[in-house]
Structure 1
Amino acid sequence: MATTDDGTRTTFLTEVKSAVTPRASLLVLGVLGLMTAFITSYTGAFHHPRPTDVPLAVVAPAPAGGQLVHSLDRLPGSPLDPRAAPTERQARQRIADREVAGALIVDPRGGTDRLLVAGGGGTSLAQALEQVVRPVEKARHRTVRTVDVRPVAPGDGRSLSAFYLVVGWCVGGYLCAAILAISAGARPSNGHRAVIRLAALAVYAIAAGLAGAVVVGPVLDALPGTFFGLWGLGALVVFAVGATTLACQALLGILGIGLAILLIVILGNPSAGGAYPYPLLPPFWRAIGPALPPGAGTWAARSLAYFRGSALTGPLLVLSAWAVGGTLLTLALSVFRTKDVTPA
């Protein structure tokens, strides 16, 4: 039994109710749910990486080439998606265009074939491809020599710098949006305030994109490629994530921050193809990864760094869709909410 300043006696249960309100209890339960989802998503995505339908070009003389493609396509578990290529030059071009993850070049005059891989697209995928092809070649009484035609930069350990760069941009995007909203209430009170917040977010996105490009480029020399390309990509990633977060907050208030974390961190990061590129992820994460900002950003950053900007259109459209959708939803919800609270 305790006594308040005015002499009123309170029980322990009363103190508990005062310290932990029902609203706070619901928020804590929400945090518990997010934590459980975080563990489930990351563990589910990474606990058992296995190659599935990895696109592989095969250059071999006919009719042996067709037989080899058929046998590779029928491997247990379907680790490969082989397709014939007429020449080594075309196979290399398909790798450069990110149409295939590698190419098997059969030497008709010798017993040693070459496996072309692209470490810049993810060293774990290149290693998985080698682990699948090597036993097949051994069964054919041939040896294979692996050649990395898109090797990672010396400062880019295991080709993870692009992934961590994009994760940093995503974190900056939703934290900035959360601060802008929480500083004066999670829901914009009117359309003018929403426009101002979006404009502030745009300025921040430009600065954040520049900061990330400077760190991975001139400062650490972690990623090759175009500096201005990475800067522009970073600004788009940050704004897309920030606008999405503002939209979630306009829709749900402070609970919108949890929804943004669910989309970007819990679902987006493990499915981004960073530590394990898409062909190594389970079906669910492989399916959603390209449609979320972390996945689109990671693919685009690696394309800019190692593939001269190939296969950029899709990821840029995804990021633009999140940016435009988040902006329009934020503005629409702010305007409608203003109308709802306007006195008759």
Structure 2
Amino acid sequence: MATERRRPPLIAVVTLLTAVLTVFLIAFAWPSARSEPRDVPLAVSGPAPAVTQVKTALDQAIPGGFALTDVPDRQAAVQRIKDRDAYGAIVLDTGQPEVLTASAGGPAVAQILTQLAGRMHPDGAAKVTDIVPLPKDDPRGAGLAAGALPLVLGGIIAAGALTQLVRSGAKRMIGALAFAITGGLALAAVLQYWLGSFEGSYLGNAGVIAMSIGAISMTLLGLEWLIGTAGLAFGGAVMMLLGNPLSGMTSAPEMLPSGWGTFGQFLPPGAAGTALRSVSFFDGNGAGRPLLVLACWLVAGVLLCGLGALRGRGRAVHARHEASALAA
């Protein structure tokens, strides 16, 4: 009679579940709870005394919150915003200061700048101009913010389903790439044509989403192929617990705790969020680095799959040798 598999004590199970729940809470709540401006790049234009006065006022209001770059005039400030070199600008060339924002680049930063506009002129609030606004159908950017989780889940679910339902490794890779394309087309269609959260080229937006899903799913497939179920679980945990909360899609990378926002931009969800904003609202400006990050993850996933295939082939050869030795 087979002996029953030994099970861990109840207290150990409860402790493990509590630890997992705590990790989930920290991963998702901590970045939001500690969200505040940290060296957010801004442009500033105007006479030197006025610029110095504004810099001092901003440092007093939010110490270390903004990194200001002097520009010659308003046109140069607008260009820096459109090139995604700055989240906004302060123009002091006229009698009434003007604050330039770009809500499409980061609604949270635009909101903070709008609030600070009221403190920049003793006779009244400064004029606020949104240079790159969000779409009228989604003025708060809720669609893009909510789309972060489906991007991550799409890649994780695809990798998990393909490893369970498809036996051939090559067919898994083909399935992951095919799903990335169809998923990108479907999600972009919903966000752009139904919810109105995107602008610009539909195929461009769909391409960024497809790269994100493909980068995640191919990486997880490669980890599972090379290491096994543990690799799939580890990769999924990294994408869910680090990639999603640190993506900056709900605010901006510079709003996250120091260093973590930068780290999040080197993971697929963060790179996808920045690339989507750039492609959809800024004519592709600022999309180069995040697209390169996604491409690197995609290539890394293919390489991991290749290593997994080589390892599986080596195991098969070893098994055949052992069988031949036993037969002899």
Report the TM-score when normalising by structure 1.
0.83
Question: Which residue number in structure 1 is paired with residue 269 of structure 2?
Answer: 294
- In 1, Cα distance between the equivalents of 2:133 and 2:195? 18
Q: Does 1:161 align with 2:143?
A: yes
Match for 2:132 among 150, 171, 185?
150
Contact 1:106 1:114 in 2 (8 A): yes
Question: Which residue number in structure 2 is paired with residue 281 of structure 1?
Answer: 256
Match for 1:114 among 90, 98, 120?
98
Instruction: State the 1:59 CA deviation.
Output: 0.8
Q: Does 1:218 align with 2:203?
A: no
Question: Which residue number in structure 2 is paired with residue 104 of structure 1?
Answer: 90
Match for 1:308 among 276, 283, 293?
283
Contact 1:45 1:271 in 2 (8 A): yes
| Cα distance change on mapping 1:33 and 1:182 into 2, 3 Å | farther
- In 2, Cα distance between the equivalents of 1:317 and 1:166? 19
Match of 2:90, SS state, is: strand
Q: What letter corresponds to residue 213 of structure 2 in structure 1?
A: V
Q: Does 1:71 align with 2:46?
A: no
Match of 1:56, SS state, is: strand
Contact 1:124 1:158 in 2 (8 A): no
Match for 2:23 among 37, 48, 51?
37
Contact 2:114 2:128 in 1 (8 A): yes
Match of 2:136, SS state, is: coil
Instruction: State the 1:55 CA deviation.
Output: 0.8
Per-residue displacement from partner, 1:6-64 (whole Å, max 9, x unpaired)? xx8x9xxx8xx55x756xx9999877654432211112101132111111111102x32
Question: Which residue number in structure 1 is paired with residue 66 of structure 2?
Answer: 80
Match of 2:97, SS state, is: strand
Match of 1:283, SS state, is: coil
Question: Which residue number in structure 1 is paired with residue 80 of structure 2?
Answer: 94
Instruction: State the 1:341 CA deviation.
Output: 3.9
- In 1, Cα distance between the equivalents of 2:49 and 2:55? 10
Per-residue displacement from partner, 1:133-165 (whole Å, max 9, x unpaired)? 543x15x66631211111111222422322333
Q: Does 1:335 align with 2:293?
A: no
Q: What letter corresponds to residue 143 of structure 2 in structure 1?
A: S
Question: Which residue number in structure 1 is paired with residue 245 of structure 2?
Answer: 270
- In 1, Cα distance between the equivalents of 2:275 and 2:148? 10
Contact 1:155 1:223 in 2 (8 A): no
| Cα distance change on mapping 1:26 and 1:307 into 2, 3 Å | farther
Aligned residues: 316
Q: What letter corresponds to residue 196 of structure 2 in structure 1?
A: D
- In 2, Cα distance between the equivalents of 1:72 and 1:334? 60
Contact 2:73 2:93 in 1 (8 A): no
Query: Which sections of structure 1, spanning at least 5 residues, go unmatched?
Result: 1-7
Question: Which residue number in structure 2 is paired with residue 3 of structure 1?
Answer: none
Report the TM-score when normalising by structure 2.
0.87
Question: Which residue number in structure 1 is paired with residue 300 of structure 2?
Answer: 325
Q: What letter corresponds to residue 49 of structure 2 in structure 1?
A: A
Per-residue displacement from partner, 1:61-118 (whole Å, max 9, x unpaired)? 2x3255246525744521110111101111001000110010101144x2x2110000
Q: What letter corresponds to residue 183 of structure 2 in structure 1?
A: A
Contact 2:268 2:294 in 1 (8 A): yes
- In 2, Cα distance between the equivalents of 1:266 and 1:33? 14
Contact 2:158 2:217 in 1 (8 A): yes
Per-residue displacement from partner, 1:259-302 (whole Å, max 9, x unpaired)? 12222111011111122211211114212111011111111111
Q: Does 1:48 align with 2:30?
A: no
Question: Which residue number in structure 2 is paired with residue 174 of structure 1?
Answer: 156
| Cα distance change on mapping 1:227 and 1:28 into 2, 3 Å | farther
